[in-house]
Amino acid sequence: MSATARKSAPNADDIRALKGQTPIVSLTAYTTPMARLMDAHCDFVLVGDSVGMVLHGLSSTLSVTMEMMILHGKAVARGLQSAMMVIDMPFSSYEESPEQAFRNAARLMAETGAAAVKLEGGIEMAETIRFLVKRGIPVMAHIGLTPQSINTLGGYKVQGRDAQADAVIADAHAVADAGAFSVVLEKVPQNLADSITAELAIPTIGIGASAGCDGQILVVDDMLGFFTAFKPKFVKRYVDLGPAAEAAIAEYAAEVRARTFPAAEHVFADQAPSKG
Ligand code: KIV
């Protein structure tokens, strides 16, 4: 079943136009209830391939599939009214050729209603970004630490320190020149993020970058304290819901074992109470 774009939500041009106006707010989402909670507060919501690690217990994003992205994309779309929806292209769905990227990006958008795709990579993906944008697919780029490349980057390290800075700057210009409407800068030094933000005409969205970026994104389960396997330095936990949820589950288990749940107010009498 195909999905239709929501008329009231911002599009790629609207997000681009926020540069220099107001900080762009975004979070990831993977489910309808979470999308509903953030809809009124975010300019765009990303259905991130981090879903593999956060909800499916995978050790990296590398085995996330198109089917997983489509399933979660449809769920998020049901929870959004006013925020734009961007969806990640999973590993191996776009790197082979611009044509492969187009086929899969078009499928993600048609089946979920996402208004744009995000893909990882700089100079090496510029030709693909240009191909997609020319054919009607708005692209958010993602440079710096690109988690789909951890095996060649040697882990989740800061990117662009010292001599590496020029390479990240070159990536930023390449994706902007190719037509990306914005670019995620992940885990790059603050000064580098600030210079790239000053140099580019498109918005930079920081994650582990700088408060000077044009916008920020976090993985929602990180900032709510649901994902506790590890906590990168750049994550701020605004609330610790994981331990609170576990305490509630433990209380329920204890009450069931003590036969104090369900209590009188949770059960039904043989006869309905008379209306009096
Ligand atoms: O998949 C993801 O969650 C991302 C980040 C930028 C948050 O790509």
User: In angstroms, rounded to a whole number, what is the distance separating the alpha carbons of residues 245 and 266?
Assistant: 21
Residue 4 predicted with pLDDT over 60: no
Query: How many residues would you count in the chain?
Result: 276
Instruction: Give the pTM.
Output: 0.95
* Ligand 1 centre distance from Cα of residue 3 (Å): 23
Domain range list for the chain: 12-240
Q: Are 83 and 65 in contact (CB under 8 A)?
A: no
Residue 5 predicted with pLDDT over 70: no
Tell me which residue of 175, 169, 177 sits closest to 197, measured CA to CA.
Answer: 169
Token representation of residue 58:
């995978």
User: In angstroms, rounded to a whole number, what is the distance separating the alpha carbons of residues 2 and 157?
Assistant: 39
With a 6 Å cutoff on the Cβ, whether 49 touches ligand 1 is: yes
With a 6 Å cutoff on the Cβ, whether 28 touches ligand 1 is: yes
DSSP-based three-state secondary structure for 26: strand
The fold for domain 12-240 equals TIM Barrel (3.20.20)
Strands 44-47 and 139-144, by their bridges, are unpaired
Residue 82 predicted with pLDDT over 50: yes
Residue where the block lists tokens 């600030």: 194
Which ligand 1 atom minimizes the distance to the CA of 147? Answer: 8
Q: What is the mean pLDDT of the chain?
A: 95
Tens-digit pLDDT profile for residues 142-154? 999 999 999 999 8
> Residues of the chain with pLDDT > 90: what percent?
91
40 CB-near residues (< 8 Å, 6+ apart):
82, 83
With a 6 Å cutoff on the Cβ, whether 120 touches ligand 1 is: no
Tens-digit pLDDT profile for residues 90-106? 999 999 999 999 999 99
* Ligand 1 centre distance from Cα of residue 76 (Å): 15
Respond yes or no on whether the N-terminal peptide bond of residue 262 is cis (omega within 30° of 0): yes
